[in-house]
Structure 1
Amino acid sequence: MTMTAHAAPPAGESLRAQGLGADSLLSLRRVYWLRWAILGGQGLLLVWAETLAALQLPYRPLLTIFVLQALFNLLTAWRLRQHARAGSVPGDAELMGQLLVDLTALSAILFFTGGATNPFVSFYLPGLALAAAIVPWRQVVALALYALACYSLMLFEYVPLHLHNPDNAVVYHLVGMWLNFVASAVMIALFVARLSGVLREREAQLADARERLLREARVESLNAQAATVAHEIGTPLSTLAVIAGELRADAADAARGGTAIRDYLPDLDTVEQQLALCRGILARLREANRASALQPVGHWLPAFADGWQLRHPQARVDTTIAADAADVPIEPARTGQMLTILLDNAARSQQAAGRGDLPLRLSIALDRRSGPSELVLRVIDDGTGMPAALRARLGEAPVASTHGGQGIGAYLAQSVARQMGGRLLWQDRPEGGTVAELRLPAISDSLEHAA
């Protein structure tokens, strides 16, 4: 009798369908190997039964059953190869057929070895328990009824065991019960414990898939809102740009040198610069194709830092890059988006801490210490830091921050990082402030990767 344990998780999702197929194939493979193990154990008992227990067994029918089991297992091996070649998986009917053959073989062995008086008759129970893990409950009920019918029949019809010394019958029965318990415990401990581990792993995968889908849905919603805002705010910005241009022209007019508007000429220049920056940002939001050519990070970094500095004239950022990281190619659009969010948050944190005069530090290095190489981009500030509870949730969902933000930027940055195969981490600095670390897989061949 051979059965194994593996189950797919509940839920009506595509991941569940894929998991069911993989589980059924793995279950059939385990049934195959377990059947060989059981056959080996049965063969040893057959050889040692008369020597150790003075039992006279009907060798011919038992050997016939063992040979038929072996032939059926060879057929199972052929089915496994068929599934491997065709990329298919066994259905519930095929798995039930396998278990039905095992129950039939067990019943036949028990019939020729004492029937219900054989201490191994309770071996039906671990078999049915393991069967419950790999086939639907209706088929489990059918198998249980079949086992019950076989057991009931062997209460009346069986081939009695013959002992050389009948006085030892009770001792042999107790020893058989002990062996039956050991075998049952091993089967349940190995396969049911393995089943529970597989179920926990599958549940974790499902939870991760649900979380990922929810996160992507939120990101899509935020992207749609951003596109709507970009469309609706374009006209007001254009109007403001026209008005600011006219005011600047009036302020620059020498004929109006004695008027008050002349004093606002520097401020109007700044307003026009900021409006031009806003129009550039909106133009990027409207781009349908977000893909961009890869650039070496060392070539891209100065222009990015200058652009960010223009947006934050009251803040400063110092950049450093390791020599071995300068030639690593990156995706400018998405990497710039994430770094902008991190630098914006760092600048606000320093302003809230009253240390706005200190520069932010942006460092880029290549980490080859463990596994595939990673490009590590760190943003270090001297701000207020963040509570541990907020740090644990930041990037997983929009959360209210200590300096008035809602955490949407960090949430979007974490989502983009995960889409690129990376991750965002935040750590407190002992001397105050926060280290935001963006880790991205290093692209070894700049022309083989597409955004």
Structure 2
Amino acid sequence: MPTAAADTLLSILPARALLGRLLTLRVSLIAGWAAGIVWLHWGLGIRMPLLPMAAVLALMGVFAVSTVWRLRQDVPATQMEFLAHLLADLTAYAVLLFFGGGATNPFVSLMLVPVVIAAISLRPRWAWLLAGVASAYYAILLFVYQPLAIADPLAAYGMHLAGMWFNFLVSAALIAFFVTRMHAGLRERERALAELREKQLRDERILALGTQAALAAHELATPLATLQTTAHELAAEFANDPDIGADCRLIEQQAQACKAILTRLAARAQDAPAEPQPLDAWLDALVDRWQVLRPDARIEAALPRDGRVFLPPDGLEQAVLNVLNNAADAAPGPVEFHAASDNRGLTLDIADRGPGFTPEQRAQAGRVLFSGKPGHGWGVGLALTHSTLERAGGSLTLTERKGGGTRVRIVIPWEHAA
């Protein structure tokens, strides 16, 4: 049994694109028929059944207006709905042909346009159904129609040839317009599906990393506690030795930092809510924490004094730390960390003077796992950062700096951080 999703046209093109282009075609046909009737009746003096033909055009106009209203509704189009639109247009066109000479009308082949559209947009059974209806209408119009009153046979033949030529131009233009637009839409849809598959694959890898991280956090808790206790005892024992004592205190600080990371990881696993805090306080704490984790690195920070309440999205702090670590690994010089806030959101710029990336690497950054510096990251860390920012509604971009190096810009809109 087909599912509701299988009945929609969203697997091919969005409803707005399909119905919008069909509406354009419908309005063009209404205008073309109206112009043709006026030209034949008043320009060439050929008596046309104005009342019934005007009634059909008016009904098509009402249907076009209802389609405009339909396009404003945020509801996906179904196969049956689009088929109904095509059948209505085909039927109205057949009725107009009935009053305009039937199968002898040179524009009778325009009935193929809805069939072509159905073949592109609908399932095969519905396309064949529309083809059968069009064939039946054509067969009926061969015998049942109102002939045009043209007194001069030579004039009628010349008009028929001219109409066939013009009909060919119109048919070619309509089919080319509709098919090329739909083909472009299909390519866009395939690109979006490819990006979705890529994101799903990346998320699966990150989920596997998260599972392994949780297991590692559980196993590391006891060794870290032992390391912290031992480092504290050694620091007290060698308090009078400036070299050994300083190293022991550094080890103790690093162990404390690792324990804090494991504590936050456990809190996230238990869905503990984050505490809102002033933005400038959060930025200061972020820089201080990174300095504890990377005492060998230098940072030049320019942070705003913004006291608005800030609730960082889950994982944002670790994402920024990943970028800071990568920048420190890229070059021995100081890491530049600039933050700015405005009415739209928070912008963080992290820059280094490392070797930078190729254009291909910048395009792939965060989407695939790769490393521009073997042994120093820019692989998993950047992929995790990109995934975190994507979930938070933010963005991450890499640009090349003048004079060498890379600038990473992180943007978080306020609606995802408040």
For the aligned pair, the TM-score class normalised by the smaller chain equals: 0.7 to 0.9
CA 1:263–1:309 in structure 2 vs 1: closer, same or farther (change >3 Å)? closer
The Cα offsets for residues 88-144 of structure 1, whole Å up to 9 and x where unpaired, read as: 666433443443343333334334433333211211222321233443221111221
8 Å Cα contact 1:126/1:187 also seen in 2: yes
2:383 to 393, 396, 411: 411
8 Å Cα contact 1:241/1:275 also seen in 2: yes
TM, length-normalised to structure 2: 0.83
| Matched residue, 1:310 | 292
Letter in 2 for 1:175: A
Single out whichever of 326-335 and 126-135 deviates more from structure 2. 326-335
1:301 to 262, 279, 283: 283
CA RMSD of superposed structures (Å): 3.7
SS in 2 for 1:379: strand
| Matched residue, 2:259 | 279
| 1:246-265 alignment runs, 5 A limit | 246-248=233-235, 251=238, 264-265=244-245
Letter in 1 for 2:102: G
Unaligned runs of 5+ in 2: none
SS in 1 for 2:315: helix
2:109 to 122, 144, 149: 122
| Matched residue, 1:362 | 337
The Cα offsets for residues 271-300 of structure 1, whole Å up to 9 and x where unpaired, read as: 222212211111111112354233333222
For residues 121 and 221 of structure 1, the distance between their equivalents in structure 2, rounded to whole angstroms, comes to 61
For residues 16 and 246 of structure 1, the distance between their equivalents in structure 2, rounded to whole angstroms, comes to 70
Letter in 1 for 2:394: G
8 Å Cα contact 1:234/1:282 also seen in 2: yes
For residues 361 and 95 of structure 1, the distance between their equivalents in structure 2, rounded to whole angstroms, comes to 56
Aligned residue-pair number:
413
For residues 40 and 262 of structure 1, the distance between their equivalents in structure 2, rounded to whole angstroms, comes to 92
SS in 1 for 2:295: coil
| Matched residue, 1:7 | none
Asked if 1:270 is matched to 2:250, the reply is yes
> Shift in Å at residue 164 of structure 1?
2.6
| Matched residue, 1:70 | 58
| Matched residue, 1:206 | 193
| Matched residue, 1:3 | none
For residues 163 and 404 of structure 2, the distance between their equivalents in structure 1, rounded to whole angstroms, comes to 70
SS in 2 for 1:413: helix
8 Å Cα contact 2:303/2:339 also seen in 1: yes
For residues 24 and 34 of structure 2, the distance between their equivalents in structure 1, rounded to whole angstroms, comes to 16
8 Å Cα contact 1:297/1:328 also seen in 2: yes
> Shift in Å at residue 423 of structure 1?
1.6
Single out whichever of 383-392 and 72-81 deviates more from structure 2. 72-81
CA 1:16–1:213 in structure 2 vs 1: closer, same or farther (change >3 Å)? farther
For residues 110 and 152 of structure 1, the distance between their equivalents in structure 2, rounded to whole angstroms, comes to 12
Single out whichever of 17-26 and 312-321 deviates more from structure 2. 17-26
1:144 to 107, 131, 136: 131
For residues 340 and 137 of structure 1, the distance between their equivalents in structure 2, rounded to whole angstroms, comes to 54
In percent, how many aligned pairs have the same letter?
35
Letter in 2 for 1:282: L
For residues 78 and 360 of structure 2, the distance between their equivalents in structure 1, rounded to whole angstroms, comes to 47
SS in 1 for 2:350: strand
Single out whichever of 198-207 and 267-276 deviates more from structure 2. 198-207
| Matched residue, 1:349 | 330
| 1:314-353 alignment runs, 5 A limit | 314-322=296-304, 327=308, 329=310, 331=312, 334-350=315-331
For residues 75 and 385 of structure 1, the distance between their equivalents in structure 2, rounded to whole angstroms, comes to 58
CA 1:292–1:124 in structure 2 vs 1: closer, same or farther (change >3 Å)? same
> Shift in Å at residue 390 of structure 1?
2.8
| Matched residue, 2:410 | 438
Letter in 1 for 2:393: G
| 1:218-237 alignment runs, 5 A limit | 218-237=205-224
Asked if 1:193 is matched to 2:202, the reply is no
CA 1:48–1:429 in structure 2 vs 1: closer, same or farther (change >3 Å)? closer
> Shift in Å at residue 374 of structure 1?
4.0
CA 1:365–1:54 in structure 2 vs 1: closer, same or farther (change >3 Å)? same
CA 1:15–1:303 in structure 2 vs 1: closer, same or farther (change >3 Å)? farther
